Amino acid sequence: MLAPRGLSRSLAGTEVALVTADEEARLVAVDLGSGRIHRYVKTLRKPRSIEAVGGMAVVAHSEIGAITIVQGGALRVAHVLHGFGEPRYTAGHPDGRHAFVSDAERGEVVALNVVSGRVLARAGVGNRARHITIDPTGSTLWVALGAKARKIAVVDVRKRTRPRLSALIEPPFLAHDVGWTPDGTKVWVSSGDRNELAIYDAKTRRILAQLEADRPPQHVTFRGARAYVTSGESGTLSVHRADGRILKRTAVADDSYNVQQAHGWVVTPGLGRGSLCILDASGRLLRRKQIARSSHDACIVVASG
């Protein structure tokens, strides 16, 4: 016998967006089903990016050179790590225990064990290392070297404690975000200087297609064969098929740059506006919530209560 929908959801936990409140030194946990604020999680000042890794969430405090690791279920701080230059973004290893953080000031990728809260290794990959993505097998990273990057670093992480720069790619424009498709065959690269996207063959590193896009910079995330692309300057979220064809374009809040998805939800926070737009998997806007003075990034976790 199936449990009632409400009971089933309560037993499974509450799906929440953990949103950085950049100016208020905390994360805001927003119940995705109701849009209500579920809880606040106090952090060090200036939380910027956040990424779910297994049952944890990694928060980068770029301006103060620190990392906070939060337990997603309990919504409490598990570890605080110092000794970084300018940690920017995180790629979670598919094992749910390890992650790789880009350090823009030091031009490094830093390998972490997010469960124990330990730094495992550091490797130089190039100046201004920023947006970062990992393939579904956990063996390779692509790292954009800057907000308007002339080069993308390819990093071998088959040995998690020994990241190694293996190649540099020159994109057809100044690159911004990078995103590996869930099937492992392609990498999408967004532009920081023009209305374009490029789709690469992950194995050959050759461009398969260049697409028109809204105003730069764009950000990208994936669910199955769908890509979700945001343009904060245009105030849009576009849903694409795997071949790049647009299925839907939705108006979201201006300054909605970063975008993440999980469990059938898509979230995009408003930098400088403190908004959070919540959409379903089809790209339909469900609600827009004002949650902070500024919200740079958001991820999705399942809170235990």
Instruction: Please say whether the beta carbons of 176 and 192 come within 8 A.
Output: yes
By the 10 Å C-beta count (0-12 exposed, 13-18 middle, 19+ buried), 298 is classed as: buried
pTM for the full predicted model = 0.94
Sheet holding 275-280, edge to edge: 260-262, 265-269, 275-280, 285-290
Measured between alpha carbons, how far apart are the two ends of the chain, in Å? 25
DSSP conformation letters of 151-164: -EEEEE-SSTTS-E
At residue 257, the pLDDT reads 97
Q: For the segment 219-264, what is each residue's pLDDT rounded down to a tens digit?
A: 999 999 999 999 999 999 999 999 999 999 999 999 999 999 999 9
Bridge partners, 34 (sequence order): none
At residue 8, the pLDDT reads 37
Q: Cβ contacts of residue 85 below 8 Å, gap of 6+?
A: 65, 103, 104, 105, 106, 108
- In angstroms, the CA 232 to CA 239 distance is 15
- In angstroms, the CA 72 to CA 181 distance is 24
Instruction: Please say whether the beta carbons of 278 and 262 come within 8 A.
Output: no
Q: Which of 268, 259, 305, 272 is nearest to 289 (CA)?
A: 268
Beta-strand (E) ranges in 157-206? 164-169, 175-180, 186-191, 196-201
At residue 42, the pLDDT reads 98
SS3 track for 9-47: HHHHCEEEEEEEECCCCEEEEEECCCCCEEEEEECCCCC
Instruction: Please say whether the beta carbons of 16 and 30 come within 8 A.
Output: yes
At residue 12, the pLDDT reads 56
At residue 305, the pLDDT reads 64
> By three-state DSSP, how is residue 72 classified?
coil
At residue 165, the pLDDT reads 98
- In angstroms, the CA 84 to CA 200 distance is 31
At residue 13, the pLDDT reads 87
The residue count for the chain? 305
Mark the ranges of the chain whose per-residue pLDDT is less than 70: 1-12, 305
